[in-house]
Chain A
Amino acid sequence: MFEVPGLGDLNVAATLPVTSLVLGTCILLIVDLFVPTDRKHITAWLAALGIGVLLVLALLALGEITEFGDGEEAFSGMFVADAFTDMINVIALITALLGVMVAYNYLERTGIQRGEYYVLLLFATAGVMFMGAAGDLVVVFVALELLSIPLYILSGFRRPQEASEESALKYFLLGAFASGFLVYGIALIYGATGTTNLHDIWQAAGDIVAGHKSGRFLLLGGAGLALVGLGFKVAAVPFHMWTPDVYQGAPTPVVAYMSVAAKAGGFAAMARVLASGLSNFALDPGEAAVWQDTVWLLAILTMLLGNVVAIVQTDLKRLLAYSSIAHAGYILIAVAAAGTAAVADEAVQSVAIYLMAYALTNVGAFAVIVAVERDDATNTGLDSMRGLANARPWLAAAMALFMFSLTGIPLTAGFVGKWFVFKAALAADLIPAAVVGVVTSLVSAFYYLRIVWLMYFEESEVEVSTPWPLAWAIGVASVGTLLLGMLPYILTDMVREITLAFGG
């Protein structure tokens, strides 16, 4: 047999946030068996407590107050524990914590309070965290599935409601299809470079480019197919068609979590594969990476379609689905900018900033929908916002804040995210993408601000339930949105250390 290396050699400590999450989840799974069926809120509490502890750990690591392990590699390069990993960990854990808080009462009042909900949510969170830390395409693939499969199940969690089950089936079929593309792309990349390790791929790609070797087009094809697969996951046009239906049909707390987690995971994988592994893959040495043009074209299409179609939506969940497509477009601009070597770090940092801002804002917006939604999953139309300001001024103020942030109005987190994304795009000379980004942001103001208008300038009877966990979730999300918006240096400090490109 082989020598068993010690924990120190493997640098297991560096993987602490995600490994303890996984262990904790498995323990929770067992503990849940002993929790009586009518007291499942205990499971929710334990889950929230665990996430809270890990969030503190992740924030300590991000703030460089403590270091876990030594060096950035763990498990011999399978796992990368760098600043990007820390940032994705924080985003994933915040989303999970808010996700649990938003779900808590909704599950209770719709009669689907089950321990499995929280366990699956934690599994998906582990998937996001693995994806942010992936140093090998095997990990990218398995982590993506670890994220996706719990999300398929959670989408269908509201049984026996038809819309929920059907959205789960649609999400599953499209998601599995997308995985097929991703893994075929990975197979071609493996064929062209002879390895699945991202650092080795980077070296092999450099050789292929420098030597004008054959196989450039195979690598290109592999990267393209992988991009199609990831494009499905983050809902980029033209691979977005599942998004509105799934968001509309799935239980709202699940959508609140999924809209952020799936994006964070998908873009983390995209950053690792494109901005890290294939960062030097250009048709001629020294040029911008070949995938740059494709990605910014996708970004433009995504922003245009998402924002324009959102205008005609009458259902809030559908509207936010198109809005989430549009936001995928903005993040894609930043990914494209990472193709220019000189601005790669800045671009990847702006991806992280945007994801952070989007996480707080979007979960918050969906949490408000959870508050107005009735037990039979109705009342999610735009009308449900009518007159909210009179009845519940604080709730309306929070929703208005989220809408401002999604539009990108200054003093909100959304503005900070867009600012850095457009800055990176201009630095990388992606002027058309930046222009379309600004113009579509203006267009988006129309439908976001219409919601604010409905809340403040129209009258109607409203029936809202905001039990305290939900109220706290909305509160935390809005304070976060405002704080990061007014003190943007918190965000820039967080991401300052992020660099994905391999050196030397």
Chain B
Amino acid sequence: MVPLWMYLVVAAGLFCIGLFGVLTRRNAIAILMSIELMLNAVNINLVAFWRYQTPDKIGGQVFAAFVFVVAAAEAVVGLALILAIYRRRRTVIAEDVDMLKW
């Protein structure tokens, strides 16, 4: 198999791309998508560590399953909020949603 560190580099890259997206995107939905990228990076990490280090203990996969659950819950709440705001303001740009300043 390819060495473990290669998976870790892919995960690190994915996480940092997501981080860049969160910090630079102005649209709330785009920020949410970037957060999903970060969570996926976590999952690659968890599964890779499980596979290469402790394949006999299922911990890493279980944790990844929990990350799925949390990601789903966050997406549902986040998109509901975004839709609620859009109905009134006709905007989902994080910066414009900003009567209260950063």
Contacts and interface: CB of A to CB of B under 8 A. Distances in A.
B78 A190 contact: no
Interface footprint category on B: 35 or more
Listed residue (B22, B42, B97, B99) with the most chain A CB atoms within 10 angstroms of its CB: B42
Contact of B15 (A166, A184, A248): A184
Question: Interface size class for chain A?
Answer: 35 or more
B20 interface: no
Contacts of B42: 180, 183-184, 186-187
B67 to A, nearest CB: 6
A196 B50 CA distance: 11
Contacts of B2: none
Contacts of A156: 81, 84
Interface string A176-190: 110111011011101
A183 B99 contact: no
Contacts, number: 122
A188 B8 CA distance: 10
B84 A196 contact: no
Contacts of A190: 46, 49, 59-60, 63
A365 to B, nearest CB: 21
Interface of B: 8, 15, 18, 22, 28, 31-32, 35, 38-39, 41-42, 45-46, 49, 53-54, 57, 59-60, 62-63, 66-67, 69-70, 73-74, 77-78, 81-82, 84-85, 88-89, 94, 97-102
Interface stretch (A167-175, A334-342, A419-427, A477-485): A167-175
A156 B67 CA distance: 24
Interface on chain A toward B: helix, strand, loop, or mixed SS? helix
Interface of A: 137-138, 141-142, 145, 149, 152-153, 156, 159-160, 162-163, 165-170, 172-173, 176-177, 179-181, 183-184, 186-188, 190-191, 194-196, 241, 244-245, 248-249
Contact of A187 (B45, B94, B99, B100): B45
A249 B82 CA distance: 16
B100 A170 contact: yes
Contact of A142 (B45, B70, B84): B70
